[in-house]
Structure 1
C-alpha cells in the first residue's frame, strides 16, 4: 500500500454540530463536535439510504480514523472499498466524536462526564436524518464499534431499539468480572507505589504532568476512572471507583453498580430489544489482551439464551489481539447492510 492517502470513490463530508446535551458538561469539554458522514459512490441515485453509525474506542478521537499503519488502509479507505463493490448495497456511514477529558464516556449519560447517550441518540441521529436522505427507521439504522465503542454499540442498541435495528461489537467491553477486574490488582500497585494509594493524587499528577501516560498503567488508570464516572457516579457528580485504591479490595456496593451495566447481565433484562434486532455481529481476537474474547463468547451465549434467532447473529473468535483489527469493521458493516431494510418501510 502507498504511504499516503487514497482517493475515495465515495465522499467523506466533515461537519460540526452544536450539542445542547453537552453544553456545560462537568469536564468543560467542547459542546461543538466534529461529525463525518460518508456517502457511497453514486450517492444521489437512491432516494433514501440506510445508515451505519461508527463509534470510537476509549481514548479515541475522530481524527484517528485517518491514522495510517504501514502497508494497511485506513478505516475510511476500507469502508470506501467495501461500498465501491457492486454486490454491496449503498449506505451512509456516520463517524461520531465522543472524546472527553477522561478519554471516553461509554456512551452513557453521567452527572460526572456529560449526557453522551442523549447526545448520540437524540442529537446526532436527529441531525443526520434532518440533513441527509436517510431511511429514518430503526430497521434501516445500525451502530458499530470496537472496545468501548463495541460496548456502546451493545448498550445503545439494547437501550434504544426504537432507534437501532442492528449492531456490531468488536471486542466490546463485557463480562466485567473477567475483563475489568483482572487489571485492578496492577492498578492498585501503581497507586500504592507511586501515589500513596490515592486515586486523587494520581488524577492531580495526570492533570499537571508535562507528558501524560508515560507509564504503561497510567492509561488504564485514567480509563478505569472514566468507567467509574460512567457506571458509578452519583447525581452530584461524585465518582466512586469499585476497589479500594490502597488494598485492591473490591467494594461490593460499587462493584454491583458496575455489573448492572455489564452487557452480559443486561441481556436478560433487555431480551425483547435483542430479539427485535435484524442483525447482531459479535467478534474478538482469540488473544485479546483484556480477555474480551471471553466477553464476546459470554455475550453471544447471553444473546442465544434470550432467544435471538441464530440466523440474525454472527459470532467469531478470530486469530488476533485487541489492536490492529480495523479490517473487521467492513466485514461487519457488510453483514449489517445485508440485513437492514434498504427501502422505506411501509
Structure 2
C-alpha cells in the first residue's frame, strides 16, 4: 500500500452545517459543524439511482478529521470503505460522517441540558438535510448508523429512540453493561480527585482546561466520568452529578440509576417491538478489549436474543479496543447488503 492518501473511486462532499439546535449550547461549543458525505463510484453517472445511507459516528474525544488518521502500514476507514465499493464487494451506499464532539470529549449522541441537543441535531437536522440534498432512499429500512466505542453506544441507542428513522445498526465495542465498563474505573478516579483536586470534579475541570490535555497521569478517569455524567445525570438547569462520593467512591444510588437507565442492555426490553423490526443488527468487540466492552457486547446480544430479535451478526474477534478500523468494512458490508432493496 502507499503510505499516503490515494485518489478515491468515489468522492467526498465536505460541507459546514449550521445547526439551529446547537446554537446557545451550554458549553458554547461550535454550532457550525463539519459534515462529510461520501458518494460511491457511479453516483454521478446514474442520476436516477437512489442509495441506502449509513451514518458514521465517532468515539469519545473523536473529531471528524480523525477518521483520516491511519495506523502504521494500514489504510484508514474512508479508504477502506471506498475500496469496498470500488471492488463491488458490497452494494453501493452513501456514507455520512457526523461530528458530535463537545468540550467534554463527546455527547453520547443524546440530548442533555449540560452539553446540548446532539440527538436532535443528528436525527432532526442532519438526516433530513442529507435526504434533501442527496439521492438517498429516504426510508428507515434503507438507513443505518454505525460507530465504535461511544459511537457504538450511539449506534445502539439512537435507533431505539427513533425507530422511525433507523433500520440498521452496527456497534463495534459500544459502551454497554455499565457496571462492567464504567463502574470499576470509579475507584481510580476517586484517588485522582482526592490527591490532586480536594475531591472536586470542578477543580479537576478547571485544571484540565488550563493545560495541555492528558498531561497528568490519571486524567482519563475523571474526564470520562465528567463527560458521561454530563450526558446521563445532569439536572434540567445543567448541574452535573457524579454517581459516586468523591471521597470514598461509594455509589449514590439515585444518580447511578439515572446512568443505568441509559445502558443499552437495560434499554433494549423497553424497545423490543421496534428492535424486532430492524433490518440489520451487527455487534462485535475484541475479546481482549481494555475496557471490557466485549462483555457489554455479549450482554447486548444476549438481551436482543431474549426479547426475540432475529438475524443478528455477533462476533468476538481476537483483538483489543485499539486500531480496529479493519473491522468497519465488515459491518459496512453487512449493513449495505441488508439496507439495499
Q: Tell me the TM-score normalized by structure 1.
A: 0.96
Q: Partner residue of 1:267?
A: 268
- SS state at 2:195 partner: helix
Q: Partner residue of 1:199?
A: 201
Tell me, yes or no, if the aligned pair for 2:91 and 2:340 is still in contact at 8 Å. no
- Equivalents in 2 of 1:142, 1:238: separation in Å? 33
TM-aligned CA deviation for residue 251 of structure 1: 0.5
Q: Partner residue of 2:247?
A: 246
- Equivalents in 2 of 1:58, 1:212: separation in Å? 14
Q: Partner residue of 1:15?
A: 15
CA RMSD of aligned residues (A): 0.9
Greater than 6 Å deviation, 4+ residue runs: none
TM-aligned CA deviation for residue 220 of structure 1: 2.8
- SS state at 2:151 partner: helix
Q: Partner residue of 2:40?
A: 40
Question: Structure 1 residues 120, 165: CA separation in 2 closer, same or farther (over 3 Å shift)?
Answer: same
- SS state at 1:270 partner: helix
Tell me, yes or no, if the aligned pair for 2:114 and 2:238 is still in contact at 8 Å. yes
TM-aligned CA deviation for residue 88 of structure 1: 1.6
Q: What do residues 146-165 of structure 1 show as CA deviations (whole Å, max 9, x unaligned)? A: 00000000000111110000
Q: Partner residue of 2:99?
A: 97
Q: What do residues 179-230 of structure 1 show as CA deviations (whole Å, max 9, x unaligned)? A: 1001000111111111121111111101212x12113421332121011011
Q: Partner residue of 2:215?
A: 214
- SS state at 1:90 partner: coil
Tell me, yes or no, if the aligned pair for 2:186 and 2:221 is still in contact at 8 Å. no
- Equivalents in 2 of 1:338, 1:122: separation in Å? 26
Tell me, yes or no, if the aligned pair for 1:198 and 1:246 is still in contact at 8 Å. no
Tell me, yes or no, if the aligned pair for 1:150 and 1:171 is still in contact at 8 Å. yes
Is the deviation greater in 187-196 or in 147-156? 187-196
Q: Partner residue of 1:296?
A: 297
Q: Which runs of 5+ in 1 are unaligned?
A: none
Tell me, yes or no, if the aligned pair for 1:106 and 1:230 is still in contact at 8 Å. yes
Q: Partner residue of 2:143?
A: 141
- Equivalents in 2 of 1:261, 1:144: separation in Å? 18
Q: Which runs of 5+ in 2 are unaligned?
A: none
- Equivalents in 2 of 1:270, 1:58: separation in Å? 25
Q: What do residues 21-51 of structure 1 show as CA deviations (whole Å, max 9, x unaligned)? A: 1000000000010000000111132521100
Tell me, yes or no, if the aligned pair for 1:157 and 1:165 is still in contact at 8 Å. yes
Q: Partner residue of 1:334?
A: 333
- SS state at 2:141 partner: helix
Q: What do residues 280-310 of structure 1 show as CA deviations (whole Å, max 9, x unaligned)? A: 000000000110000000000011011001x
- Equivalents in 2 of 1:244, 1:179: separation in Å? 18
TM-aligned CA deviation for residue 87 of structure 1: 3.8
Q: Partner residue of 1:159?
A: 161
Q: Tell me the TM-score normalized by structure 2.
A: 0.98
- Equivalents in 2 of 1:112, 1:197: separation in Å? 21
